[in-house]
Structure 1
Amino acid sequence: MELLLNLLLIAGGVVLLYFGGEVLVKNAVVLARSWGINTMVVGLTVVAFGTSSPELAASLAAALFGSPSIAIGNVVGSNILNILLILGLTALIQPIRAQAQFIRREVPFMIGTALLLWAFLYLGQQVGRWEGLFSLILLGLYIGFLYKSSSGENPEVAQEFEQEYGQPAQISWRNYLGLALGLVLLGLGARILTLGAVALARGFGVSELVIGLTVVALGTSLPELATSVVAALRREPDIALGNIVGSNIFNILGILGLTALVQPIDLPWASIQRDMAVMLGASLLLWPFLVTGAQLSRREGAVFLALYAAYTFWLLQG
């Protein structure tokens, strides 16, 4: 009975996080467009960061309620899942190739953020308030870089984003109400998910870190999954790739940055080094496809999925 209750809490939290993220992103896009923000910037920041809002809510709730392992595990697990599972599944549906120059420039930055988190945890065994502040400053610089570089993108890619996010924005009080509702749903869903995840870990004798890397990461990554699959079906590869790369950057700089600023996160390096290595390895694995413009075909998508299955099996065995 207790197991069923914990599973219901996790499922309920995931549902609230998913719909909270959807409502938040939908209304944030309308507001951003009404303020005259470039459609490509909207797609790469508002949408990519908005789809990571469940991760932000879950990690913040976990850290505040004394489960730092879930907070970090959620971010690291989501980044691994975004590349190996979501892009693998996306490529199976529709082979993808990066056309946009900005994506090729973003990938080294994504790898750099992974190395930055590696340094925080390896050298200091924590992500403290100073590290959190530094991460948020870097995020601000990254957004400024995107804003400036988006104007020089090739017309075909610009058209892709214009088609997806360029509809005339008709703003009303409902958009602000939707934004507030999305935040409420995210907060409530994060608390329920954290309660269920912690109880499930204790019930099975599994570490909170493993639960964060698997159950919580999968639940909070549903918006990225939905966005990328829809983009693949519509033959919009740069939106799918931009969403994943942008989300991975935001997960480390924005989510852990803000979480650490509110509540410093302590975690022994030995407990997370394997997963950090997998996250960095997955990022490096993606790099050749995006930088060279090579196609991420169905075969490579199947390999990505197999690697994610092997990693999950490895986690549960350990």
Structure 2
Amino acid sequence: MDLQQAIIFFLLATMLIAIFGTRLTKAADQLADITGMGEAMFGAIFLGSITSLPGIITSVVAAGNNHPQLAISNAIGGIAAQTFFLSIADITYKRVNLEHAAASLTNLMQGALLICLLAIVIMSAFGPEIDWMGVHPFSILMIVVYVVGSRMISKAQKSPMWSPRITLQTVQDKPEEQNQKLSLTKVGIKFTIYALLVAGSGYMVGYTGIQIAEQSPLSDGLVGTLMTAVATSLPELIVSVAAVRQGALTLAVGNIIGGNSFDVLFVSISDFAYTPGSILHTATNEQFLIIGATILMTGILLLGMLHREKKGFGKIGWESLMIILVYLLVNALLVY
């Protein structure tokens, strides 16, 4: 397809992601109550991974078509965009700072896990250029760390050694009686259908993103960071804002932070799809700038969740303001 067609289909796929991503929210909240997993854990493991499907498909398609920078920038750029979207969700919640109201041990641990995974990406890129059948050993290590970290978080949720102080503004995760009466099978089927539709739209975003990168003067890194990453992250924005409006605050934060940890695995899986060698060896300064900014934004978010300011500038937390500024700055540097 030519550039004009690619842009049209890119926008169409983005719109479909927004539509079907919205419908995931209600089903996810219902499943969290029916299964008894809780919003934070369900948001981090299931909803976070489901809303990440467009991004992972985009990165794999890009890597398989020999566009490694697009694959990496889409993965890491998506994490930065989603953290930025959490600040947008904070703006929509007027009562108090979102990170204060949705304080959760699970979300704090997910943020720490994300920083560990991003550190592995940096270590692998600057370490010796080794690979096994075209795959870097650290790509496998990232998957192992994610699985072990997720199990650790699950155990900590069941027997917590730390818990946030409950205030009048804290919105605790309590199952709704009306949700617990719903059929697990019916809700699960709806959730699965919406997930497949989101995934299909994600494939179209990845394919058209490659066409735009090949036919426009923009670099793969810029297309990945500014276009495909933002487009494939729309489900996280839509789901989180919708969850905030429904009062499912822990689900909203867990979806973003848990999804971010899962998104680092895009790089690992793309490494398997990239045949010339390890995709980690192709990272450029653009990707390292994005990774550094993402670590900074995550650190600010964790500090904000621990500090738990009730209200700050513009009725949002100081951490949300700083995250917005860092995100805009890094994108300005990339364009410059």
Given that 2:104 and 2:164 are in contact with CA atoms closer than 8 Å, whether structure 1 keeps it comes out as yes
Instruction: Report 1:187-226 matches (<5 A).
Output: 187-226=199-238
Instruction: Report 1:50-61 matches (<5 A).
Output: 50-61=50-61
Residue 90, structure 1, aligned to residue 89, structure 2: yes
Residue 268, structure 1, aligned to residue 299, structure 2: no
Quote the Cα distance in structure 1 between the aligned partners of 2:63 and 2:247: 39
Quote the Cα distance in structure 2 between the aligned partners of 1:80 and 1:165: 36
Q: Percent identity?
A: 18
The match for 2:151 among 144, 149, 160 is 144
Given that 1:97 and 1:289 are in contact with CA atoms closer than 8 Å, whether structure 2 keeps it comes out as yes
Q: Secondary structure at the match of 1:97?
A: helix
- For structure 1, list consecutive stretches of 5 or more residues without a partner in the other structure: none
Quote the Cα distance in structure 2 between the aligned partners of 1:208 and 1:6: 15
Instruction: Report 1:1-318 matches (<5 A).
Output: 2-18=2-18, 37=37, 40-83=40-83, 85-94=84-93, 95-98=97-100, 99-124=103-128, 128-151=135-158, 152=160, 159-160=172-173, 162-163=175-176, 167-172=180-185, 175-176=188-189, 179=192, 182-183=195-196, 185-253=197-265, 255-263=266-274, 264-266=278-280, 267-295=282-310, 297-299=312-314, 300=318, 301-317=320-336
Quote the Cα distance in structure 1 between the aligned partners of 2:165 and 2:308: 17
* TM-score with structure 1 setting the length: 0.82
- For structure 2, list consecutive stretches of 5 or more residues without a partner in the other structure: none
* TM-score with structure 2 setting the length: 0.78
Pick closer, same or farther for the CA change 1:296–1:274 going to 2, 3 Å.
farther
Quote the Cα distance in structure 2 between the aligned partners of 1:136 and 1:58: 19
Quote the Cα distance in structure 1 between the aligned partners of 2:135 and 2:212: 28
Pick closer, same or farther for the CA change 1:27–1:64 going to 2, 3 Å.
farther
Given that 2:40 and 2:250 are in contact with CA atoms closer than 8 Å, whether structure 1 keeps it comes out as no
Given that 1:17 and 1:220 are in contact with CA atoms closer than 8 Å, whether structure 2 keeps it comes out as yes
Quote the Cα distance in structure 2 between the aligned partners of 1:236 and 1:35: 16
Q: Which deviations, in whole Å up to 9, do the C-alpha atoms of 1:139-194 show, x marking residues without a partner?
A: 211221222122246797794252499534414478448626733x3454233222
Pick closer, same or farther for the CA change 1:77–1:192 going to 2, 3 Å.
same
> 1:53 deviation in Å?
1.7
Quote the Cα distance in structure 2 between the aligned partners of 1:227 and 1:208: 28
Given that 2:52 and 2:232 are in contact with CA atoms closer than 8 Å, whether structure 1 keeps it comes out as yes
> 1:291 deviation in Å?
2.4
Given that 2:113 and 2:146 are in contact with CA atoms closer than 8 Å, whether structure 1 keeps it comes out as no
Q: Which deviations, in whole Å up to 9, do the C-alpha atoms of 1:108-166 show, x marking residues without a partner?
A: 22222221111122225689353232222222112212221222467977942524995
Quote the Cα distance in structure 2 between the aligned partners of 1:200 and 1:248: 25
2:98 alignment partner AA: I
Given that 1:33 and 1:42 are in contact with CA atoms closer than 8 Å, whether structure 2 keeps it comes out as no
1:278 alignment partner AA: A
Q: Number of matched residues?
A: 314
Pick closer, same or farther for the CA change 1:306–1:181 going to 2, 3 Å.
closer
Quote the Cα distance in structure 2 between the aligned partners of 1:268 and 1:110: 19
> 1:65 deviation in Å?
2.2
> 1:86 deviation in Å?
0.8
Pick closer, same or farther for the CA change 1:77–1:44 going to 2, 3 Å.
same
> 1:246 deviation in Å?
0.7
Given that 2:40 and 2:104 are in contact with CA atoms closer than 8 Å, whether structure 1 keeps it comes out as no
Q: Which deviations, in whole Å up to 9, do the C-alpha atoms of 1:215-267 show, x marking residues without a partner?
A: 001111111111222233345443332222111111113x3233334445241
Higher share in helix: 1
Q: Secondary structure at the match of 1:128?
A: coil
> 1:295 deviation in Å?
4.1
Q: Secondary structure at the match of 1:160?
A: coil
Given that 2:202 and 2:232 are in contact with CA atoms closer than 8 Å, whether structure 1 keeps it comes out as no
Q: Secondary structure at the match of 1:162?
A: coil
